[in-house]
């Protein structure tokens, strides 16, 4: 029998199997998407009620019942997240550069292992660590936005290390060699060639790290606390944040329960929108920073 | 060793090595414990093209990379012996390898322009990476001069701000050559610079090499016998007995002699394509 005969039609059996597989895969996808759509629907439908200017201009100072807003919590989330980024990026990126460009021998392996361990730290533990740290400087019972930022950096640093290391590894060895052969000192090769080439990926990684921490609640409840008023000072006093705001609206409802519920849902909607914006921004930034390799003239 | 040799300062100045001989003396190269090249000695003529030929794995790239101290960039790699440029030992412990690479430029097998930089920035990359600063007009002159020397000026002069990666492969390789020329080295090393290119781009690079030869000492590695015969003045043939053995220099002579009347049977077989 010849083994080179071509088969002109796909057998019925294979057609059936193909169809079943296609249906099954679509079904699983639908099942996966249902909770997501339902969550978005719930948050949007309940969040729109208070998605108004008052919400974005007023704090909760002196508010019982109706009205009030979350500008203090939005400001707090912005400040604490920004501070966490300021702490995490130099440490995380520096570590990644060490791992890919300088590390030799067993130390990089140890650092990678510790980074993996750090990825798994429960956020409440990060909060306790930050608390223990500010107690040393300020004393027991202290609360400060910066402590929240420290707790969040503990969660963000491993994300930045991992994503940046991956991006730095993608920089072709050819480019490093070309730079060294042109008489560049090592640090110049890193700062002028390797980092710019990997920049889009690094920035995208940092943005995803921000998405990871922006919704954290437990450590902030512990060390940044909650307040009804605006506090713009990271170094002194309690500072409200969106996740803790949601929690406290839900937890301490006054007589007019609906007003508290509505504020909590709107804050949840704002938080989801922030994550969405950061995701989109990371893509846009990645697009604009990525090396230009197009053949277009 | 003469008294003047002893007095030589271990710093590379342009005057000290301009147009002077490059001498490889009893050089062995290692990757960890593996001896890749054993006791190579040869003296490379200034302002001429020297070709390294030989079968894959005989250590041509390794030898080339020892000349500008790129070999030691590979983790675990080391050398024994010395390489002298006008009497200065490039492997003197007091010599900064970075200063060696500023005098001895290198072109790689695959064109590797910096993807984040425009054509102009690529040409200026070496100056920037070496922390040198030029006035804007000087920089523009240097870009034009280097691109002209690399036979690329006419095809890119209207799009100097386009990304370097937007050029064709052959143009990218000429851009890489312009990038090396811009830092004004004395020696240019090229490791199979045409092997990723089509015949027309190859011919363009070969023309370019013949031009470069007027001002620079050029060393090329090639697998293309016709190319070695066409462009080089001197040819060194290397071989390796078996994998795991060190590469050796078999014969080094004028290119014409190597290709028409070599003294070793192995060389004759190799250039005639009867090898292995
Ligand atoms: N980074 C490295 N680590 C370990 N061994 C290496 C390394 N690079 C090369 N070698 C070994 O050194 C020897 C010489 O390699 P080299 O690349 O110099 O050969 P070559 O003559 O340039 O070969 P080709 O013509 O294929 O480019 C080979 O046995 C090779 O396996
Ligand atoms: Mg090679």
CB atoms within 10 A of CB B94: 8
Residues A19 and A157 in one domain: no
| Contact list, A175 vs chain B (CB under 8 Å) | 112, 114-115
Domain count for chain A:
2
**CATH number, domain containing residue A93:** 1.10.3720.10
Which residues have CB under 8 Å from A278's CB, separation 6+? A207, A208, A210, A211, A214
Q: What is the pLDDT of residue B9?
A: 40
Q: Tell me the per-residue pLDDT of B146-155, one tens digit each, with 9 for 90 and over.
A: 998 888 899 9
* Ligand 1 residue neighbourhood (C-beta within 6 Å): B 31, 34, 36, 56-62, 74, 247
pLDDT at B127 > cutoff 80: yes
Query: Which domain does A122 fall in, by range?
Result: 53-289
- The answer to whether B220 and B52 are in contact (CB under 8 A) is yes
Nearest to A197 among B116, B159, B163 (CB): B116
Task: Inspect the interface and report whether the beta carbons of B126 and A180 lie closer than 8 Å.
Answer: no
% pLDDT > 70, chain A = 95
CA atoms within 13 A on the CB side of B183: 34
Residues A22 and A117 in one domain: no
Residues A160 and A129 in one domain: yes
CA atoms within 13 A on the CB side of A294: 7
Nearest to A297 among B126, B166, B183 (CB): B166
Residues A264 and A132 in one domain: yes
A39 found inside a domain: yes
A117 found inside a domain: yes
Residues A89 and A39 in one domain: no
Residues A198 and A103 in one domain: yes
This model of the complex carries an ipTM of 0.87
Which residues have CB under 8 Å from B112's CB, separation 6+? A172, A174, A175, A177, A178, B176
Residues A137 and A217 in one domain: yes
- What order do you get walking across the sheet with B22-31 strand by strand? B34-44, B22-31, B77-85, B88-89
A21 found inside a domain: yes
A121 found inside a domain: yes
Residues A189 and A104 in one domain: yes
pTM of the model as a whole? 0.84
CA distance B81 to chain A (A): 21
A197 found inside a domain: yes
Q: Tell me the per-residue pLDDT of A225-257, one tens digit each, with 9 for 90 and over.
A: 899 999 999 988 899 999 999 999 999 888 888
Distance of alpha carbon B96 from alpha carbon A8, whole angstroms: 69
A295 found inside a domain: no
A69 found inside a domain: yes
Residues A39 and A125 in one domain: no
Residues A151 and A38 in one domain: no
Q: Tell me the per-residue pLDDT of B240-276, one tens digit each, with 9 for 90 and over.
A: 888 888 999 999 999 999 998 888 888 888 888 776 4
Residues A38 and A64 in one domain: no
- The answer to whether B64 and B234 are in contact (CB under 8 A) is no
All domains in chain B, ordered by first residue: 3-271 (3.40.50.300)
Distance of alpha carbon A141 from alpha carbon B84, whole angstroms: 70
A5 found inside a domain: no
Residues A36 and A178 in one domain: no
């Amino acid at each position: 029998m010849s083994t080179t005969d071509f088969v002109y039609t796909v057998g019925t059996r294979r057609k059936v199997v193909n169809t079943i597989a296609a249906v099954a895969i679509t079904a699983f996808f639908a099942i996966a998407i249902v909770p997501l759509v339902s969550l978005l629907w719930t948050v949007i439908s309940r969040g729109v009620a208070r998605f108004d200017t008052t919400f974005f201009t007023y704090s909760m100072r002196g508010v019982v019942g109706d009205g009030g807003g979350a500008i203090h919590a939005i400001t707090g989330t912005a400040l604490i997240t920004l501070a966490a980024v300021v702490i995490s990026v130099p440490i995380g990126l520096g570590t990644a550069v060490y791992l890919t460009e300088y590390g030799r021998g067993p130390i990089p392996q140890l650092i990678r292992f510790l980074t993996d361990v750090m990825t798994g730290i429960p956020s409440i533990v990060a909060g306790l660590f930050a608390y223990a740290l500010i107690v040393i400087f300020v004393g027991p019972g202290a609360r400060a936005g910066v402590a929240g930022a420290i707790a969040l950096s503990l969660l963000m640093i491993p994300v930045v290390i991992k994503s940046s290391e991956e991006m730095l590894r993608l920089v072709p060895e050819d480019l490093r060699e070309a730079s060294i052969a042109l008489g560049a000192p090592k640090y110049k090769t890193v700062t002028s060639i390797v980092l710019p080439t990997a920049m889009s990926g690094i920035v995208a990684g940092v943005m995803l790290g921000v998405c990871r921490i922006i919704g954290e609640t437990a450590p902030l409840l512990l060390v940044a606390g909650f307040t009804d008023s605006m506090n713009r000072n990271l170094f002194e006093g309690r500072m409200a944040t969106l996740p803790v705001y949601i929690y406290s609206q839900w937890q301490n409802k006054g007589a007019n329960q609906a007003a508290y519920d509505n504020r909590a849902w709107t804050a949840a909607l704002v938080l989801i929108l922030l994550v969405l914006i950061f995701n989109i921004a990371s893509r846009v930034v990645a697009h604009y920073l990525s090396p230009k390799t197009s053949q277009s003239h | 060793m003469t008294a003047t040799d002893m007095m030589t300062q271990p710093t590379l100045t342009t005057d000290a090595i301009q147009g002077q001989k490059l001498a490889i003396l009893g050089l062995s190269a290692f990757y960890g414990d593996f001896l890749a090249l054993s006791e190579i000695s040869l003296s490379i003529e200034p302002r001429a093209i020297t070709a390294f030929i030989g079968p894959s794995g005989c250590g041509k790239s390794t030898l080339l990379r020892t000349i500008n101290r790129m070999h030691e960039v590979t983790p675990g790699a080391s050398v024994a012996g010395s390489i002298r440029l006008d009497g200065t030992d490039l492997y003197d412990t007091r010599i900064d390898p970075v200063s060696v690479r500023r005098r001895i430029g290198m072109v790689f097998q695959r064109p590797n322009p910096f993807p984040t930089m425009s054509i102009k920035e690529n040409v200026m990359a070496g100056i920037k990476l070496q922390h040198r600063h030029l006035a804007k007009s000087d920089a523009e002159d240097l870009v034009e001069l280097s691109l002209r020397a690399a036979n690329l000026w006419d095809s890119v002069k209207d799009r100097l701000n386009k990304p370097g990666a937007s050029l064709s492969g052959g143009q990218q390789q000429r851009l890489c050559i312009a990038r090396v020329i811009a830092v004004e080295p004395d020696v240019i090393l090229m490791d199979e610079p045409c092997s990723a290119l089509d015949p027309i781009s190859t011919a363009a690079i070969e023309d370019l090499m013949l031009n470069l030869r007027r001002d620079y000492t050029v060393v090329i590695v090639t697998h293309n016998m016709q190319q070695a015969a066409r462009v080089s003045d001197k040819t060194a043939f290397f071989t390796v007995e078996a994998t795991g053995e060190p590469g050796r220099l078999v014969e080094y002579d004028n290119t014409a002699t190597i290709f028409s009347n070599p003294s070793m049977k192995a060389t004759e077989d190799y250039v005639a394509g009867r090898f292995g």
